[in-house]
C-alpha cells in the first residue's frame, strides 16, 4: 500500500489500491512521497527499530511536519506537543527533548504513534503494534487507539495474529493465510460463525478463562513456503477437514451472506 518494497523482490501483480478516488499504483514516486506520512501512516511492531537512537523524540516527530505541512519555528513545536498530547504522553514539553533509550517500551510505542499521527493521516496502518508490550500496557495501548480514532476519525488497518486484540479493536476482519485472504466478515460475525477452518483454528488458539484444559490448542503442521506453495488450498496440508479436491484445486470466493465471504471447498 505504501509502495516501499523494492522491485523486483516485491512487486504488485494485479488489482488496485484506491484512496480518495486515486489509484496509488498509478502515482509517480514523487507523488507517493506526498502520500506517505500525510495521507497514510504506519506504526511498526518494534519501536526501537522505528526510532533513530541519535535524534530526540521531538526532532523525529517534527520531521514529517516539516516535510508535509511546511511549518517552521514555534508552530512546528506546537504541532509536536499536540501530537504527544494526542497519544497521552505526560509532560510533552519535557519528553520532546528525550532520546528513545530514555523511554519505556510502552512510551516508545506511543512516540511512534505520535509520529504517525503528526500530519493527521486518513489511514493508519498498525502492524502488530502491541506484540512487544506486556498485557497491562497492551490493554492501555488498545484503549488509546480507540480514543485516537474517536478524536481524529482516522481509519485504522490493524494487522495482528491475536484474536483477543481483534475482538476489542476491529469492526471488520479479513483473515489471511499464506498471502491470501480466506475469509472476510464483520467482527461479530467472525466470532459467532467462523466459516473457514483456519479462522476457527485461530479463535480456538485463544485461551478461555471459563474452561480448564490439559493442553492449549495449537494448529498442527507448519505454514507453507511462499516460494513453493502446495497445489489446491494453501491450508489443506494442516486442515483437519480437508478432502481430496482441497489438495487439487484452489477454492474460489463464496458469499455466505451480506458482508461475509469465504474461500473453502467445505462451505456450501
Question: What CATH number is given to the structural domain containing 148?
Answer: 3.40.50.300
Q: How far is it, in rounded angstroms, from Cα 224 to Cα 221? A: 9
Do residues 201 and 149 share a domain?
no
pLDDT of residue 106: 87
Provide the number of structural domains found in the chain: 2
Please give the pLDDT value at position 58.
95
Residue 184 and residue 85 in one domain: no
pLDDT, residue 242, reads 93
Residue 127 lies in a domain: yes
> Which residues lie across from 257 on neighbouring strands?
260
Using CA atoms, how far apart are residues 75 and 219, in angstroms rounded to an integer? 53
Condensed to tens digits (0 to 9), the pLDDT of residues 125-140 reads 999 988 777 888 888 8
- For residues 107 and 95, what is the distance between their CA atoms, to the nearest angstrom? 10
CB 32 within 8 A of CB 23: no
Tell me: do 202 and 120 sit in the same domain. Answer: no
Q: What angle do CA 185, 191, 195 make, to 5 degrees?
A: 60
Give mean pLDDT in consecutive 10-residue pieces for the chain, a chain of 268 residues: 86 90 93 94 88 95 91 91 94 94 91 94 92 82 91 94 88 95 96 95 85 85 91 95 94 92 92
The per-residue pLDDT for 205 is 86
- Same-domain check for residues 149 and 178: no
Q: How far apart are the first and last CA of the chain?
A: 33
In a domain, 135, yes or no: yes
pLDDT at 139: 87
Same domain, 131 and 156: yes
**Distance (Å, rounded) from C-alpha 115 to C-alpha 80?**
8
Domain coverage including residue 268: 171-208+221-268
Query: Residue 147 has what pLDDT?
Result: 93
Amino acid at each position: 500500500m505504501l509502495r516501499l518494497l523494492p522491485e523486483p523482490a516485491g512487486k504488485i501483480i494485479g488489482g488496485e489500491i484506491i484512496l480518495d478516488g486515486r489509484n496509488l499504483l498509478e502515482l509517480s514516486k514523487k507523488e507517493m512521497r506526498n502520500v506517505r506520512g500525510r495521507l497514510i501512516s504506519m506504526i511498526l511492531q518494534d519501536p526501537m527499530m522505528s526510532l533513530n537512537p541519535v535524534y530526540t523524540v521531538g526532532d523525529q516527530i517534527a520531521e514529517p511536519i516539516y516535510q508535509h505541512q511546511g511549518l517552521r519555528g514555534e508552530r512546528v513545536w506546537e504541532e509536536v506537543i499536540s501530537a504527544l498530547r494526542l497519544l497521552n504522553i505526560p509532560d510533552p514539553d519535557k519528553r520532546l527533548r528525550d532520546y528513545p533509550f530514555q523511554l519505556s517500551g510502552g512510551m516508545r510505542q506511543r512516540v511512534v504513534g505520535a509520529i504517525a499521527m503528526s500530519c493527521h493521516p486518513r489511514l493508519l496502518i498498525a502492524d502488530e503494534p502491541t506484540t512487544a508490550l506486556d498485557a497491562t500496557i497492551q490493554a492501555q495501548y488498545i484503549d488509546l487507539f480507540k480514543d485516537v480514532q474517536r478524536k481524529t476519525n482516522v481509519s485504522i488497518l490493524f494487522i495482528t495474529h491475536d484474536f483477543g486484540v481483534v475482538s476489542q479493536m476491529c469492526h471488520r476482519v479479513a483473515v489471511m493465510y499464506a498471502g491470501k485472504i480466506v475469509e472476510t466478515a464483520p467482527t461479530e460475525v467472525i466470532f459467532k460463525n467462523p466459516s473457514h477452518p483456519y479462522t476457527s483454528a485461530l479463535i480456538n488458539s485463544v485461551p478461555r478463562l471459563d474452561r480448564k484444559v490439559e493442553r492449549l490448542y495449537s494448529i498442527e503442521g507448519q505454514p507453507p513456503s511462499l516460494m513453493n506453495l502446495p497445489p489446491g488450498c494453501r491450508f489443506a496440508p494442516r486442515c483437519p477437514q480437508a478432502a481430496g479436491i482441497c489438495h487439487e484445486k484452489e477454492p474460489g470466493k463464496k458469499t455466505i451472506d451480506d458482508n461475509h465471504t469465504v474461500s473453502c471447498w467445505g462451505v456450501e
